[in-house]
Structure 1
Amino acid sequence: MAEGAGLEVRPITAEDVDQVARFLAAELNGRLSAETWAAAVVPPWPVDAPNHGFLLADSGRVVGVQLAIYSERMILGRAERFCNLAAWCVLDDYRLHGVRLLRSALAQPGYTFTDLSPSGSVIEVNQRLKFTEFDTTSVLLPNLPRRTDRTIAITADPVALAEALSQADLRLHLDHRGCLAARQVMISHGDDTCLVVYRRDRRKRISAFASILYASRPELLRRALPALRAYLLRKDRLIATLAEVRLVGRPAGAVDLPGTRRKMFRSDDLTADQVDYLYSELTCVPW
């Protein structure tokens, strides 16, 4: 365990972003450049964020990082503040100090906290800290070129989205338009519309999967799944769609996914069905 008078935990400020980004590119995920990490650290939506997370420094050198992505949402007519615990990376020699970063983030009052990509020992730490797991039971749906319902339209055209989306959906669309990992389409059926947010995901080193993160009208999404899958194959060259059962059910041709990636949250007020995956690392970080 590293010790020393120069060891400190402090908030990540705007002045720290470049140094933190270089650390994450070198120590966590080298597929992303330092420039990409820097862009992901600062989300594009307007929010009064107290920091960008917390860092562990030894005599001024970054040796650990806990990113945090903040947002404010209206839930049942009430403003709720969210803190998404994003990338957590600590050098091996300082590993026993890593929980100090997490506790510093959680010590901030008034937030619902989400951790949408915990792994390994992080899951056990979160459980001890009273996090609750989402039901992430998921299916894989092959993306096939055929579509059967010609009354359903799908577009990513921003002009079309701006003209047709409801006010609430339009706000979500605009907030995520500059996110590096978020892709958006609108499903239309007559006057009904559904905003779908998804990301390009990687499985077994193959980056050709669409992971659905959000749908404003799940019932319309379920009806339009064949058309959406054909669209994703044709437009994005994505070979399959990954989605949670609680969002899409188990349509014909679905394959249950073993070892689903776990997701967790901690809140004094909200339940799992009131918390989604927007405004998070899943939309901001294109790993």
Structure 2
Amino acid sequence: MVGAYVAFYSQRSVAGQSENFCNLAAWCVQDAYRSHGLRLLKALLDQPGYTFTDLSPSGNVVPLNRRLKFQQLDTTATLAVNLPWPRWGSGVRIIDHQASIETYLDVRDLQIYRDHARAPAAHHLAVIKGDRCCYVMFRKDTRKGLRLFASILHVGDVELFSEVAWHVRSYLLTRFGLAVTIVENRFVSAPPMLSVPLKSPRPKMILSSRVSPSQVDYLYSELTCVPW
């Protein structure tokens, strides 16, 4: 074997319609065979009836995707420092134990959680306040050689997450040792306190005639399955 293109397949509900997704992941070809690398990509994109996503394209892949009519997702994000924050009297509980998380999630988030419970890069929280629950999925990321970053991948209740973000960020620091949270604007109703815009958010891309960039999430992909 001299080359491979890894892809993750899933069937999702988008606006009430079933949609087949092919998420492009790692693309590796030995140097002597680089001229054949595009054949791997063409074989994937020639599959009929799929929405294609590329959620972690390397620098030289981004312009190639653009030439192939991929659209770029809006990944505008903020970088927020995690600080210890007391939860006494707040009514907020945060749970990361598998058996306990399942008892609080609604049907949709329960299915997502069970599908990703063993995904190597995914970490899970149930954030509870009163009778409301927000399911949060995140991954640990390394930037500038420091594995101190939490990247949010899924938020079940944007309003509640924004309300309790201080407590979530404190938990990420004290429980997981993560000093900074990267959260895209899609996951919050307002920028978190003590945050700054991320200057160079990593690009994410889609090729589809049926699904718009705003309808894409990061589930069932290398972001949940491959730690780096």
When normalised by structure 1's length, the TM-score is: 0.76
Paired residue for 2:2?
63
Deviation at 1:226, TM superposition (A): 0.2
- Whether the 8 Å contact between 1:210 and 1:241 is mirrored in structure 2 is yes
Instruction: State the match for 2:127 in structure 1.
Output: 187
Partner of 1:204: 144
1:21-73 C-alpha deviation (Å, 9 max, x unpaired): xxxxxxxxxxxxxxxxxxxxxxxxxxxxxxxxxxxxxxxxx211110001111
Query: d(CA) in 2 for partners of 1:154 and 1:98?
Result: 46
| Aligned positions of 1:210-221 closer than 5 A | 210-221=150-161
Q: Partner residue of 2:204?
A: 263
1:81 aligns to what?
A: 20
Residue equivalent to 1:280: 221
Aligned-partner SS, 2:191: coil
Over aligned residues, Cα RMSD in angstroms? 1.3
Q: Using the alignment, how far apart are the partners of 1:217 and 1:267 within structure 2?
A: 27
SS, match of residue 103 in structure 2: helix
Sequence identity (%): 46
Instruction: Check if 1:232 corresponds to 2:156.
Output: no
- The aligned length equals 226
Given that 1:208 and 1:238 are in contact with CA atoms closer than 8 Å, whether structure 2 keeps it comes out as: yes
Whether 1:245 aligns to 2:185 is yes
Amino acid at match of 2:12: R
Residue deviations 1:183-241 (CA, integer Å, cap 9, x gap):
01011111111111100000001111100011111111111110000101111011110
Kindly state the Cα deviation for residue 76 of structure 1 after the two structures are TM-superposed: 2.4
In the alignment, which residue of structure 1 is the partner of 2:38? 99
**Structure possessing the higher radius of gyration over alpha carbons:** 1
SS in 2 for 1:164: coil
1:246 offset after TM fit, Å? 2.7
Q: Which amino acid aligns with 2:46?
A: A
Amino acid at match of 1:172: I
| TM-score (normalizing by structure 2) | 0.95
Structure 1 residue 273, shift from structure 2 partner: 2.1
1:224 corresponds to which letter in structure 2?
Answer: V
Distance 2:59 2:15 in 1: 34
Counterpart Cα distance in 1 of 2:164 and 2:148: 20
**Alignment-derived partner of residue 112 in structure 1:** 51
Kindly state the Cα deviation for residue 245 of structure 1 after the two structures are TM-superposed.
Answer: 2.0
How big is each residue's C-alpha offset from its partner over 1:161-194, in whole Å with a ceiling of 9 and x where there is no partner?
2111101110000000010000010111111111
Ranked by relative contact order (alpha carbons within 8 Å, sequence separation 6 or more), the top structure is 2
Which runs of 5 or more residues in structure 2 are unaligned?
Answer: none
Stretches of structure 1 lacking an aligned partner (at least 5 in a row): 1-61
